[in-house]
Amino acid sequence: MLTYQAEALRDLFTAVVRQNVSPEVWKWLSEKVTPAGDTRQFNIAFVSAPRKTGKAVVQVTKEQDAAIREAGAGLNITTWTTDRLCRIWLLFSLDHTDREKYFQTIEQLFLTAEVNELVALYSALAVLPYPEMWVKRCAEGIRSSIGAALGSVACNNPYPAAYLDEQAWNQLVLKAIFTDTPLNEIIGLNERSNADLAITLSDYAHERWAAHRFLNPLVWRCVGKFINAAIFPDIERLNASPEDYNREAAALACYDSGYLPAQELLNKNPNMKSSIASGQLSWETLAEKMKNYVLQS
């Protein structure tokens, strides 16, 4: 399991919030989360936060950015807006001594959320108290077909890799693939790859090939470690592809594999092997290349 430090993240987020809002707004935020505060006031604060905080991208120091990535298993908040971070702060700062009441309050926000609120709610999962309580809600977010909402669960979010079971995790990866969500932004993609997912992805590749549709080469990132006699023919097919991105994916998958025929296949291409060893070719460089590619699905 991939882990992250929720407590450290909460402290870091609080510091970033304070330096991105005026003292008046900080006071306004703080008043909404006291144990004595009523739920109606909290709800209105969450909903109307952008009117108070503005929607500028947050200013984060280099040190804070590094500390957040460290505590958050790679989490990057440098593109987040102030309203999003303030909403997240409200969510984890709300008095939560009564577990059931806290759950009902947050759940009601999910049920009535517009798109930007959903983004804030899902990106807050990693810093909410009672982390195990949100597993079903996280799985529900993965079912969303609203691009931004799904993206906020699947991408740049350390919660799913830490808390989802294998079945739900595999759904996350599949849903991301089906919706052209950038796979390289999924935290824990390597660590949580598994044999069952590899078989599903091999089947998926066969369907795409039968339909003469585009297949994102990044799917093979989840397959490399699990290449066996059944999957190896897929890699051979990729390796014989006229498209360079497919051949690169085949080489990268072989590089990750302990399966002997896969290693031998890569050895036949020493140039590719050495550029992987030197870091010139990696799943990240392939992801960068595919970003500029029009997906024809």
Partner 1 sequence: MCCSHNITEKDLQPNTSDKSYLDRIRGMQFFDPHIHMVSRTTDDYEAMADAGIVAIIEPAFWVGQPRTGVDTFRDYYSSLIGWERFRSSQFGIKHYCTIGLNSREANNEALAEQVMEILPLFIYKEGVVGVGEIGFDDQTAAEEKYYRLQLELAKEAGLPVQIHTPHRDKKRGTTRSMDIALEHGLDPAMVIVDHNNEETMKEVLDRGFWAAFTIYPFTKMGNERMADIVKQLGTERIMVNSAADWGISDPLAVPKTAALMKDMGISDEDIRMVTYQNAITAFAQSGQIDEADFAAVKDIDQSLKFGKNTVLRGGQQPRTDKSSIIIR
Residues of the shown chain interacting with partner 1 in the complex, contacts defined by CB under 8 A: 40, 43-44, 47-48, 50-51, 108, 111-118, 145-148, 179-180, 212, 291-294, 296-297
Nearest to 72 by CA among 15, 5, 10, 2: 5
Strand, helix or coil for residue 57: strand
Q: Contact, 21 vs 58, CB < 8 A?
A: no
Indicate the residue among 191 and 243 with the shorter CB distance to partner 1: 243
Indicate the residue among 147 and 233 with the shorter CB distance to partner 1: 147
Indicate the residue among 66 and 115 with the shorter CB distance to partner 1: 115
Indicate the residue among 118 and 254 with the shorter CB distance to partner 1: 118
Contacts of 22 (CB under 8 A, 6+ apart): none
The whole-angstrom separation of Cα 251 and Cα 263 is 9
User: How far apart are CB 290 and partner 1 at their closest, in Å?
Assistant: 10
User: How far apart are CB 43 and partner 1 at their closest, in Å?
Assistant: 6
For 215-237, give the DSSP string: --GGGGGGTGGG--TTTHHHHHH
CA distances from 79 to 65, 82, 248 (A): 11, 10, 30
User: How far apart are CB 230 and partner 1 at their closest, in Å?
Assistant: 29
Indicate the residue among 120 and 276 with the shorter CB distance to partner 1: 120
Indicate the residue among 51 and 136 with the shorter CB distance to partner 1: 51
User: How far apart are CB 154 and partner 1 at their closest, in Å?
Assistant: 13
User: How far apart are CB 44 and partner 1 at their closest, in Å?
Assistant: 6
The H-or-E segment that residue 152 falls in is helix 147-154
| The two structure tokens encoding residue 256 | 């990750």
Say which residue the tokens 């810093």 belong to: 127
| Count of Cβ atoms closer than 10 Å to residue 293 Cβ | 12
User: How far apart are CB 81 and partner 1 at their closest, in Å?
Assistant: 11
User: How far apart are CB 49 and partner 1 at their closest, in Å?
Assistant: 9
Amino acid at 1: M
Indicate the residue among 97 and 296 with the shorter CB distance to partner 1: 296
Nearest to 207 by CA among 129, 122, 287, 297: 297
